Structure 1
Amino acid sequence: MEAAVGVVEKLSAPAVIIGHSMGGAIATAVAKQVPKKMRGLILADPAWLSVEQERFYAEAAGESVRRTARWQCDPVGALAENTLKRAHWRSTDHLHWLYGQLHVDLGVVASGVVSFPAPWQDYVADLAVPTHVITSGDDCLVGEAGAEAIRGMGRPELTVTYLEGARIPCPSICRKPSAPKCGGYYASWAPRGGAR
């Protein structure tokens, strides 16, 4: 976290951070710490967890470490397993998923902590940075209930797109800055000729 804040503080222009899952939670925390160095956040299904989700990750930490270690020892098997579980994903999405599993720090997985230590609604209530969340159903953490909760906060700088019925992997929702699913948010916030 401190490293991410350090990078943002050194930029010559306010940053736009695009983050997914735990990366989205980290981006949120960075924006809270250095809001003047931020232009905006685009978060693909950030790990803004419910109490139940937080408890699940904490209780499942041991099993998550064993599973991830198994995947790291057998990447071909891991890829086959994920392909069966998420047949609707594109092959490139499976490869991106595998890359993440092969490079994840097992110490972080063992902690069972994947987000900030507060209910997300409280944590983002005073977020001063324009933030757009993109989520869908199935595998997504925020999902439809979270999208409704975001809308219910009534904060114009905190917006959400829920991709109704979309069976897409959340990691690929906003991979490319020009992706139409980003709703033009990146284009409207992107620094002009400054730091990227």
Structure 2
Amino acid sequence: MSQIHPIVMPKWGLAMQEGMVATWHVAPGQTIKAGQELCDIETSKIANVFEAPMEGKLRRLVAAPGATLPVGALLAVIADDAIDDAAIDGFVEAFQAQFASESHEEAAPEPVTITTPAGRIRYLKLGETEGAPVIFVHGFGGDYLGWMFNQGEAAAHATTYALDLPGHGGSTKDVGDGSLIRLVDAVAGFMDGLAIERAHLVGHSMGGAVALDVAARAPERVASLLLLAPADLGPEINREFIEGFIKQSRPKKLREVLEHLVVHPEQITHEMIEEVIKFKRLDGAVAALEKLRDGFLFVPPGVAAVHAKFRALACPVHVVWGSEDRILAPGHAQGLPPNVAVTHLEGVGHLPHMERAAEVNTLIERMIRG
């Protein structure tokens, strides 16, 4: 039996409420395959590719480029040739009328704070299941929203927490001497404050180094590690990016800096740039970033000691690196101990959890399931 299938605005993470259709990569009359790139969608955090959820013939593009629409809004229609244009018209009209009559204002989950020995820590909790929870630890200059494409997916399988490290987001701007141990103590204190005995840790960049050190210092508290382009595995680091992130306050100049993060510059949205500028205006934010730069990021790592941390771990460890990473050299993943699984993602920059979210989410689910 012939059917008409709607393609709607996806929901990438529970915090996403709307998206903007930036560019279509397909045209009406084209037969598409499941997983094929349909269009680019901009969210408040980053632009990303929306892949076809099914195969079939694309009969109608409903959303024009530049249109900002709520989650669930009609973007396109798939149907075979047995369905005439009048039936397509009727379907679109009925869908739009019903969608307009429904309330789509779902309250986004809100982060909360906890007081720890390291100071105030802001975090977002999603999901409530048995078993070890997942704790997401962001990189330099990030915050909990950096996991918007991942936390909601993981929350279907585990209790999840995405936190703001000291010096970032809504957490304390007191980073002490800016050393790695200061951040490690903050994560351990966060776990203590919420009575989390054992957790899976997912860390990105600077957060990857933090997660590894948490596991090295308290291996009984870490069920597994998934490290995305972790810092501290080699001497090469993009100092121009770090300095530019701290110093640049003009949108045009800051865009040039942030474009180092991704392979496709158009993924850096205006909203993302404005969020960074807004964050750096917070009292103490720039000073905290400078301390982390001098106390950790620009301190030459002891690579042999870091490899020894990996070798000593009994829990599963997986390192993921984008082949086009311009912040931390992909070559840092070479020569890791045999107990570390390594995945290289071709055509990906420094943000694999955003640039290739589906693949990273699959790895997170496997980590949870053991």
Say whether the 8 Å CA contact 1:41–1:129 is kept in structure 2: yes
Q: Taking CA–CA contacts closer than 8 Å with sequence separation of 6 or more, which of the two structures ends up with the larger relative contact order?
A: 1
CA distance in structure 2 between the aligned counterparts of 1:183 and 1:5, rounded to whole angstroms: 24
Say whether the 8 Å CA contact 2:262–2:350 is kept in structure 1: no
**1:49-128 map, 5 Å:** 49-50=233-234, 52-53=235-236, 64-65=242-243, 67-71=244-248, 73-83=249-259, 88-89=264-265, 90-92=267-269, 95=272, 99=276, 102=280, 105-111=289-295, 113=297, 117-119=301-303, 120-128=306-314
1:28 aligns with 2:205: no
Say whether the 8 Å CA contact 1:17–1:42 is kept in structure 2: yes
Deviation at 1:78, TM superposition (A): 0.5
- Hey, what does 2:343 align to over in structure 1? 161
CA distance in structure 1 between the aligned counterparts of 2:349 and 2:228, rounded to whole angstroms: 10
- Hey, what does 2:191 align to over in structure 1? 8
Secondary structure (helix, strand or coil) at the match of 1:2 reads: helix
* Closer, same or farther: CA 96–6 of 1 in aligned 2, 3 Å: farther
Q: 1:151-187 CA distances to partner (integer Å, 9 max, x unpaired)? A: xx222xx2111113x1x2322x1259x9332273321
Secondary structure (helix, strand or coil) at the match of 1:124 reads: helix
1:170 aligns with 2:354: no
Say whether the 8 Å CA contact 2:254–2:273 is kept in structure 1: no
Deviation at 1:22, TM superposition (A): 0.7
Equivalent residues, number: 174
- In our comparison, the structure showing a higher alpha carbon Rg is 2
CA distance in structure 2 between the aligned counterparts of 1:84 and 1:174, rounded to whole angstroms: 16
Say whether the 8 Å CA contact 1:47–1:142 is kept in structure 2: no
**Unaligned 5+ runs, structure 1:** 192-196
- Hey, what does 1:179 align to over in structure 2? 357
* Closer, same or farther: CA 42–116 of 1 in aligned 2, 3 Å: farther
Say whether the 8 Å CA contact 1:44–1:135 is kept in structure 2: yes
Q: Which amino acid aligns with 2:318?
A: H
Identity among equivalent positions (%) equals 21
- Hey, what does 1:132 align to over in structure 2? 318
CA distance in structure 1 between the aligned counterparts of 2:354 and 2:311, rounded to whole angstroms: 26
Greater helix proportion: 1
Secondary structure (helix, strand or coil) at the match of 1:170 reads: coil
Q: Which amino acid aligns with 1:27?
A: A
TM-score, scaled relative to structure 2: 0.39
Q: 1:89-123 CA distances to partner (integer Å, 9 max, x unpaired)? A: 41359928973984562221233536795213233
CA distance in structure 2 between the aligned counterparts of 1:121 and 1:43, rounded to whole angstroms: 14
Q: Which amino acid aligns with 2:310?
A: V
Q: Which amino acid aligns with 1:16?
A: H
Q: 1:53-111 CA distances to partner (integer Å, 9 max, x unpaired)? A: 2xx67xx59x954x34431x324430245348956141359928973984562221233
Say whether the 8 Å CA contact 2:353–2:360 is kept in structure 1: yes
CA distance in structure 2 between the aligned counterparts of 1:97 and 1:69, rounded to whole angstroms: 14
Quote the RMSD (CA, aligned, Å): 3.8
CA distance in structure 2 between the aligned counterparts of 1:97 and 1:40, rounded to whole angstroms: 35
**Unaligned 5+ runs, structure 2:** 1-183
Greater strand proportion: 2
CA distance in structure 2 between the aligned counterparts of 1:20 and 1:115, rounded to whole angstroms: 18
Secondary structure (helix, strand or coil) at the match of 1:49 reads: coil
Q: Which amino acid aligns with 1:180?
A: A
CA distance in structure 2 between the aligned counterparts of 1:93 and 1:188, rounded to whole angstroms: 34
